Amino acid sequence: MIRFRPAFSLPILLGAAVATALFVRAGHAPAALPAMVDGQTLPSLAPMLEKATPAVVNIASKTRVAVRNPYFDDPIFRRFFGVPNMPRERVQQSLGSGVIVDANKGYVLTNNHVVEGADDISVTVADGHTVKAKLIGTDPDTDLAVLQIPAGKLTALPMADSAQLRVGDFVVAIGEPFGLGQTVTSGIVSALGRSGLRGSGYQNFIQTDASINPGNSGGPLVNLRGELVGINSMIYSPSGGNVGIGFAIPSNLAADVMRQLIQFGEVKRGALGVEAQDVTPQLATLLGLDDRKGAVVTRVRTKSPAENAGLKPGDVIVSLNGKTIGSEQDLRNIEGLTTPGAAVDVGVLREGKALTINTALKVNEALVLKGDSLDPRLAGVQFGDIPDGLRRQGVGGVAVTRIAESSRAFQNGLRSGDVIVAVNRRDLDSSADFGRLVSARPRQLMLTLLRGEDAFYLLLQ
């Protein structure tokens, strides 16, 4: 089976790999190469790395997960055996990497999946000291998160313009794979603009053959000038190990997401206001299309930029601002990565004729549900749309976007970032299902949650 794996936050384990590394480290070092050959200095990445590596940090997070036994939910059982009326917990610990991008304000960029759902986040900087980190914001759809640590004697990595990257450019990945400590790997840019990978919402990845391994998530991909060109995110792996196909989030995208998370606490995305599907061979024949590429408009939302511009169901969108649209996902990627309010040229095929429609994207208004109005057990909780990556995999439900630590739900184990996919074992197709089931005030409120790669039940008292 082929897997797209995040270079994931790594459970803290010391095993054979670490023992082997320590054994090798204790052995004899190979003879050093001469500094010069025929009067020419040997090329080395060391001078660049001496400037870049102090900006790379290790991120350790702890997530408390409620563990319940159905017997403990029985009041007679609790009273008979003297079991306290409170949920038991287990603590998950994980490791990842990050990069300091603003030394004066202490901002650190990393992956969302490194800190998703974490209750406690610690950052260890290059000189070895560890500090507590504040979570500024996360964006699951691009797998990015921004942390803040106390400023003072920090080193930041300058950002490069990732739009200037070319296939074949040399790059270096820095991180802390397998908890071994800071590690550097090198390679080239293998491809640009990669999309269509499972498990991520908006995709515009840099592909590289620089080795990216578990624990590298959130670490920087740098050019030979020591500038940040990407945030390492995931690997393509048939076996779970590195096979030379890794993916990084471009620095330009990361910079825009970071700016919005710092300013708004969330990311505001543009929306054209259409629902669409891929062009299938049957649709191509029905619509008289020679090319079986594009996104067929199936619905135009009222008062949307698309309606105002005259887009109609049956139109085939083939480009957006000059970028080719080959599928519905291409449309969502380009649409979601375009700034709200930006003017766009929409290339359309209508009844076999090519048209260009001009409009401006509108802010994509996300769903917001207040737990206070649904059920007292959910007071202090705010719900929103689930990440697009999950929605495209057919997952229905709602996501916890905010939760007060003083709330009953938080005390019972609910956390920001959790995705609720069922209520009392009834699967959710939409947020409307969630609102309907919860507002009925059932006597028992048991939620089925997705948190990172885990799925479990949570009973709200």
**Catalytic residues, which ones?**
113, 143, 217
In whole angstroms, what is the distance from residue 151 CA to residue 171 CA?
Answer: 28
Would you state the structure tokens that stand for residue 384, as one six-digit string? 């929103």
How many Cα atoms sit within 13 Å of 308 on the Cβ side?
A: 11
* 451: exposed, middle or buried (Cβ count in 10 Å: 0-12, 13-18, 19+): buried
CB atoms closer than 10 angstroms to residue 221: 32
In b/e form, how buried is each residue of 302-326, taking b as 16+ CB within 10 angstroms? Answer: eebbbbebebeeebbbbbbeeeebb
Taking residue 136's Cβ as centre, other Cβ atoms within 10 Å add up to 16
Q: What's the CA angle centered on 242, arms 53 and 133, to 5 degrees?
A: 40
* Strands 426-427 and 228-237, sheet pairing: unpaired
> What is the rounded CA–CA span in Å between residue 18 and residue 28?
18
Question: From the CB of residue 437, how many other CB atoms can be counted at a distance below 10 Å?
Answer: 18
The backbone region for 334, taken as left when phi is positive above 0, alpha when psi lies in -120 to 50, beta otherwise, is alpha
DSSP string, 48-76: HHHHHGGGEEEEEEEEEEEE--GGGG-HH
Q: Three-state DSSP class for 230?
A: strand
Rounded to an integer, what distance in angstroms lies between the CA atom of residue 378 and that of residue 65?
18
Contact 11, 93 (CB under 8 A): yes
